[in-house]
Amino acid sequence: EVQLVESGGGLVQPGGSLRLSCAGSGFTFRSYWMSWVRQAPGKGLEWVANIKEDEGEKNYVDSVKGRFIISRDDAKNSVFLQMNNLRVEDTAVYYCARRGVVGWGSYYFDFWGPGALVTVSS
């Protein structure tokens, strides 16, 4: 059974930093792109970042470029999101998601974790 579990959420002041972790199990972690998707309170889903196998490629939504860093440790079946210079508008539930693929251009999120709440407030 595929499982993803996030950890590391919490309350942080504006300008502060936080590191989210996501542990995967039940699948060959090193063979998949992994992503972070967030959802602000009462709002829709927003893709944040993804990372290729072997960290060969990393992509970010414009609003977090230069502030967030995605990384992975395949030996520990884990993906991370280092969030720096946090803003009030970064407040959200952050989901870790596995990215499935059919072929070039056909990507989807087939498994999601329960999410970790990040609150940025003074």
* Minimal distance, residue 54 CB to another protein, in Å: 17
**Is the CB of 14 or the CB of 100 nearer to another protein?**
100
Asked whether 34 and 79 are in contact (CB, 8 A), the reply is: yes
Shortest Å distance, C-beta 106 to another protein: 4
- The correct pick among 18, 95, 116, 118 for binding another protein (CB under 8 A) is 95
**Per rule CB under 8 A, is residue 27 in the interface with another protein?**
no
CB 24 within 8 A of CB 98: yes
If one asks whether residue 14 binds another protein (CB under 8 A), the answer comes out as no
User: In degrees rounded to 5, what are phi and psi of residue 75?
Assistant: -65, -25
Name the CA radius of gyration of the chain, rounded: 14
